[in-house]
């Protein structure tokens, strides 16, 4: 991307401050510089991101382009990485039904990556992930939610909404972080990361944590993982 500063734009004006997540750089910013349509005041304006300098169009509180949902996760298997990024980009474009359908494919590819047979029904991949400890038994209903939402998106006329897509992406993100990022960080580090050091003090390995579900408790409730500290 070309480096752009807000000051590089010509004939800008001061706007009422507006807080939004930039669809280009992903930063949450408070912008107050850009352009307005004279007879609409700030109800219809172009805001310039103070972080990356890119313009976002705001109309009645709706910002275009929107921001991708969830956090970027790198170093995933190629067959998983491209689909996860596509699901987030679909959400960004407002294609919530598409995002849910892609999330189903993400889970299927994760199961195949860990040894499931390719070309099976989705429920078989759900069983494989649960039975082999990649998802705790008590989280089966979450995956089943993805199955039913995906079936509904495929066979029903009603389109899925933003909150539907957010719930599914939240679960997929957590699954990928646990099985790829956190697992890899744990195995590659000489010391235990903060988020599971308490449990490791009891001499529990990551493998045991993953298969008992304790590790998932850490992910759900640890403030470090959830970004609150």
* Structural domain includes residue 25: yes
Q: Could you tell me if 104 and 184 lie in one domain?
A: yes
* Structural domain includes residue 1: no
Q: Could you tell me if 184 and 89 lie in one domain?
A: yes
Number of domains in the chain: 3
Q: Could you tell me if 172 and 87 lie in one domain?
A: yes
**CA–CA gap between residue 66 and residue 49 (Å, rounded):** 13
* End position of a domain, from candidates 64, 96, 112: 64
The token duo for 193 is 């990361």
Q: Which CATH number fits the domain that encloses residue 88? A: 1.20.120.330
Q: Could you tell me if 180 and 196 lie in one domain?
A: no
**Nearest residue to 33 (alpha-carbon basis) of 64, 65, 51:** 51
**CA–CA gap between residue 206 and residue 182 (Å, rounded):** 10
Q: Could you tell me if 44 and 93 lie in one domain?
A: no
Q: Could you tell me if 96 and 148 lie in one domain?
A: yes
Which range marks the domain in which residue 57 is found? Answer: 6-64
Q: Tell me: pLDDT of 60 over 60.
A: yes
- pLDDT tens across 80-112, in order? 999 999 999 999 888 988 998 899 899 999 999
Calculate the average pLDDT of the chain: 77
Q: Could you tell me if 167 and 125 lie in one domain?
A: yes
**Nearest residue to 129 (alpha-carbon basis) of 151, 99, 98, 106:** 106
Predicted confidence band of residue 45 (pLDDT cuts 50, 70, 90): very high
pLDDT of residue 31: 93
Task: Please answer whether residues 19 and 63 qualify as being in contact, where contact means their C-beta atoms are separated by less than 8 angstroms.
Answer: no
Task: Please answer whether residues 33 and 14 qualify as being in contact, where contact means their C-beta atoms are separated by less than 8 angstroms.
Answer: yes
Q: At what angle do helices 122-131 and 96-113 cross, to 10 degrees?
A: 50
**CA–CA gap between residue 109 and residue 105 (Å, rounded):** 6
């Amino acid at each position: 991307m070309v480096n752009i500063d807000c000051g590089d734009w010509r004939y800008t004006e001061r706007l009422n401050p507006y807080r939004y997540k930039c669809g280009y750089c992903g930063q949450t910013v408070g912008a107050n510089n850009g352009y307005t349509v004279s007879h609409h005041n700030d109800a219809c304006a172009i805001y310039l991101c103070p972080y990356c300098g890119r313009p976002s169009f705001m109309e009645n509180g709706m910002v275009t382009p929107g921001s991708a949902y969830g956090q970027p996760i790198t170093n995933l298997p190629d067959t998983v990485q491209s689909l996860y990024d596509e699901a987030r980009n679909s959400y960004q474009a407002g294609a919530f039904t598409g995002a849910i359908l892609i999330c189903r494919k993400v889970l299927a590819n994760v199961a195949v990556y860990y040894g499931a047979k390719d070309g099976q029904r989705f429920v078989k991949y759900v069983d494989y992930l649960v039975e082999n400890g990649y998802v705790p038994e008590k989280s089966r209903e979450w995956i089943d939610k993805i199955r039913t939402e995906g079936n509904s998106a495929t066979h029903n006329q009603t389109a899925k909404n933003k909150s539907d897509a957010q719930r599914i992406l939240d679960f997929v993100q957590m699954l990928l972080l646990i099985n790829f990022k956190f697992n890899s960080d744990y195995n590659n580090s000489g010391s235990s990361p903060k988020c599971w050091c308490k449990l490791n003090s009891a001499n529990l390995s990551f493998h045991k944590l993953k298969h008992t579900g304790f590790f998932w408790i850490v992910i759900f409730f640890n403030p470090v993982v959830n970004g609150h500290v």
